[in-house]
Chains A and B, each alone.
Chain A
Amino acid sequence: MEPDNDVALDIIITNVVCVFKTRCHLNLRKIALEGSNVIYKRDFGKVLMKLRKPKITASIWSSGKIICAGATSEEDAKLGARRLARCLQKLGFKVKFTEFKVVNVLAVCTMPFQIRLPEFTKSNRPLASYEPELHPAALYRIKDIKATLQVFSTGSITVTAPNVQFIATAVEQTYPLVFECRKIHI
């Protein structure tokens, strides 16, 4: 009896962080006055603007650098960033949508089994680190794709990587390692 060797896993993207530049100076006071859904953080020198569709929060600096967070896919992040740039254009700034880049993607993946973390850490040193007194998850770093995985004993894995493709790669690489250390219920 040959087992079916294909396994499919859900990877749910929960957050995408992207940056872009407008190549012009932005008057934060004017944005705070004329924009709705805007919070002016004077102490930090930035303005927070929230869009409804897609649901993102943008931090706007007067230098023209903008960070958008909260999107659930790379395409959504780009659309939200463009909407934001368009909004700033409507406010009267000579905005150009340049140097758009997705810098961080956060995803969650649930394994269909529980994981024995001490065993996982032992067999994957020094890439894996587990300090139960500090954090309930084991931290596993993959250097070449710059991915960080938090492996919980419930089987849930949180992956952070620069883009979605790396996230898939990270989960693919980690799956056999966690599968070896799965918890078998009596």
Chain B
Amino acid sequence: MAAAQSCPECGSSNIIDDSHHSQAQLVCVDCGSVVSEGLLTTTLSEEQYHMTSHSNQHSRYSERSVLGKQLYRNQNRSESGAYSERTDKEPCRNQIRGLQRVSTLCHILRFPPGVEDSSRSLFERAYRHPAFLGVSLERKEVLAGCCVLLVGRQYSWPVTMGTISSLLQANPGLMAGVYLELVEKLGVEAPPTTITQLVRSHCSSFQLSTASVPDQFSECLSKLVDRASNLVELAGEAWIVTGRHPVPILTAAVYLSWLSLRPVAPRLATSLSRFCKLAGVPLPLPAHKRLAELQDALCKLGKELPWLRGVKLDRKVVAKHAGDILKHRAVLLRRAMESQGGEEVEDSEQAPQRTLGAAEQAACVTAHSGASLSLVGSVTQCAGCEDKELEGAAAAALNTGGNEKGGSAQGSLSSPAGGSVVQCSSAEGSVKPAAMVPVKGTINSAQDLVETEGPGNCGTLPLPAGGKRRRPVFLPPCIVNPPKRRQRDEEESRGREVTGDEEISDSEIEQYIRTPDEMRQFAETQSRLDECRAEVSRGT
């Protein structure tokens, strides 16, 4: 057992472990005073608590012992669970430990002193809040990390929840719950960390200086950060970032940047996993998928580069041209939209149909189920409605799937698989899906109708006269690869008029009841199974 540092009475450090009957005590040899008694544990950290300057040196240690607590048990507790209502009472052991934990985390994350002080004060406030008073120790430990995270976000310090939960070795789910509760109960606002803020800190964790890796592999940090930031911005536009964990995207972006900054043979021959080993960084599992997506996005844009026309761009060679692609990405994006998007369509529709509202109306299906859930909202026209917005809206209208097909001309459309379509009100202009793109909507049954149309039909999207219809080059993965829905039978898809109070015939119910023979067989099989299980358990 480790000895306490010094006796509070005489200052001597000659303290021994003694026991009075069955009670363990720490006794000073020089003056005979009992330093501590009745503690259930006698670890160094427990003793040091009593010797720290935070503790009241004049209080009797027995008050803090098990016996002392038993004496206080009969006293009335306040609503918050505390024995005393004093607001200036000294912090308890767990609070002190929590504050130390906050300080340690701040030092590890290299927070400036002002940020550390804010974290400590937030932790003190949260700790005394009724919502966190009676919680488990584990939650209190995680609370320290959550306070650090919250304050870091307020000061735009790039720190992720994953980092802090791995530093604390805490359950990420628990951390998420405590963080959300902290934000709600204390009413503190903190903007979430964007991926662009994380680029620099992530890049700096890669050890690519000349001291740690050979010359051909080493790279300057600032160049890496610039290139990776551009790649991450492109990833943001290409729907690679949305809804995904940031770290694998950052790893893939850094790897691609490293390849493209000096696309020499040794680098190009290095795989992502080898690169991570070289740089001393763990490789997250989804990074390979994110890398493939980034490379595909670069290939899509790279096709528009004039000096690459006719060159077959694939994932392996695109890294060489990444620099040029990123430099001119705005122009390339526009060109890609023109060439890889829809074909030109001349507008013959009337002016009102040009509005955003009209484009949105396109995404509607005529009611077939009789349930009328009419939803009408007002749409304010954006001033100076430009091509861009219309493209976006038109494209988005396409994205909602084959809804357009069931225009007013058609009558009732087969209901989408997966649920009853509650409503649509008739649109002024019916919109047919785009010609070139096989629109993969999220509505399966309508999808068949869309795909059968094929590339032959010309879309009649509302557009400015002589304007080009453009669709975004990059679409969200859920629209490009929609989840497969089970095909419902035709009767269901057509929709039934159901009131809920129909007559129920016996024949409908009989299918759910076993015949006497089946019951007998089932009972026999069950008893045999039980016997076998009993034998097995007896055997083991």
Per the bound structure, the CA–CA distance linking A89 and B428 in Å amounts to 51
Which chain A positions have C-beta within 8 A of B377?
Answer: 6-7, 9, 172, 175-176
Per the bound structure, the CA–CA distance linking A153 and B239 in Å amounts to 9
Number of interface residues of B (CB under 8 A): 92
Shortest A31–chain B CB gap in Å is 10
Complex contact B522–A131 (CB within 8 A)? no
Complex contact A112–B500 (CB within 8 A)? no
Complex contact B392–A176 (CB within 8 A)? no
Complex contact A8–B364 (CB within 8 A)? yes
Complex contact A6–B357 (CB within 8 A)? yes
Q: Does B191 contact A (CB under 8 A)?
A: yes
Shortest A28–chain B CB gap in Å is 14
Which chain A positions have C-beta within 8 A of B506?
Answer: 90
Given A7-B361, A153-B242, A168-B373, A118-B194 contact (CB < 8 Å): yes
Which residues between 69 and 110 of chain A lie within 8 Å of chain B, taking CB atoms? 72-79, 82-83, 86-87, 90-91, 107-108, 110
Interface digits, B360-404 against A, CB 8 Å rule (1 contact, 0 not)?
111111000101011111111100000011011101110110010
Complex contact B381–A185 (CB within 8 A)? no
Shortest A139–chain B CB gap in Å is 9
Q: Does B490 contact A (CB under 8 A)?
A: no
Interface digits, B513-526 against A, CB 8 Å rule (1 contact, 0 not)?
11000110011000
- Of B124-132, B318-326, B348-356, the one with at least 4 CB within 8 A of chain A: B348-356
Complex contact B379–A3 (CB within 8 A)? yes
Q: Does A48 contact B (CB under 8 A)?
A: no
Contact of A12 among B243, B422, B522 (CB under 8 A): B422
Shortest B166–chain A CB gap in Å is 13
Per the bound structure, the CA–CA distance linking A78 and B499 in Å amounts to 8
Complex contact A76–B381 (CB within 8 A)? no
Complex contact B513–A90 (CB within 8 A)? yes
Complex contact A134–B176 (CB within 8 A)? yes
Residue of B whose beta carbon sits closest to that of A38: B512
Complex contact A113–B421 (CB within 8 A)? no
Per the bound structure, the CA–CA distance linking A90 and B194 in Å amounts to 60
Which chain A positions have C-beta within 8 A of B498?
Answer: 54, 73, 75-76, 79
Shortest B156–chain A CB gap in Å is 13
Which chain B positions have C-beta within 8 A of A185?
Answer: 388, 391-392, 395, 472
Complex contact A90–B509 (CB within 8 A)? yes
Which chain A positions have C-beta within 8 A of B501?
Answer: 78-79, 82
Shortest B396–chain A CB gap in Å is 4
Which chain B positions have C-beta within 8 A of A9?
Answer: 360, 363-364, 375, 377, 424
Complex contact B192–A132 (CB within 8 A)? yes
Interface digits, B495-511 against A, CB 8 Å rule (1 contact, 0 not)?
00011111010101111
Residue of B whose beta carbon sits closest to that of A154: B476
Per the bound structure, the CA–CA distance linking A53 and B442 in Å amounts to 24
Residue of B whose beta carbon sits closest to that of A53: B508
Shortest B408–chain A CB gap in Å is 11
Which chain B positions have C-beta within 8 A of A52?
Answer: 511
Complex contact A3–B355 (CB within 8 A)? yes
Complex contact B363–A72 (CB within 8 A)? no
Complex contact B522–A33 (CB within 8 A)? yes
Per the bound structure, the CA–CA distance linking A182 and B397 in Å amounts to 13
| Among A33, A76, A126: residue with most chain B CB under 10 A | A33
Complex contact B192–A133 (CB within 8 A)? yes
Q: Does B68 contact A (CB under 8 A)?
A: no
Q: Does B427 contact A (CB under 8 A)?
A: yes
Which chain B positions have C-beta within 8 A of A108?
Answer: 419
Per the bound structure, the CA–CA distance linking A25 and B533 in Å amounts to 30
Complex contact B371–A73 (CB within 8 A)? yes
Q: Does A14 contact B (CB under 8 A)?
A: yes
Which chain B positions have C-beta within 8 A of A35?
Answer: 512-514
Which chain B positions have C-beta within 8 A of A61?
Answer: none
Given A8-B423, A10-B424, A113-B396, A136-B242 contact (CB < 8 Å): yes
Which chain A positions have C-beta within 8 A of B420?
Answer: 12-13, 72-73, 76
In the complex, besides A10-B421, A112-B359, A185-B388, 4 extra interface pairs with C-beta distance below 8 angstroms are A12-B422, A49-B512, A54-B498, A130-B192
Top 8 closest pairs, chain A to chain B, by CB = A136-B243, A78-B500, A3-B355, A185-B392, A3-B381, A75-B500, A75-B498, A8-B425
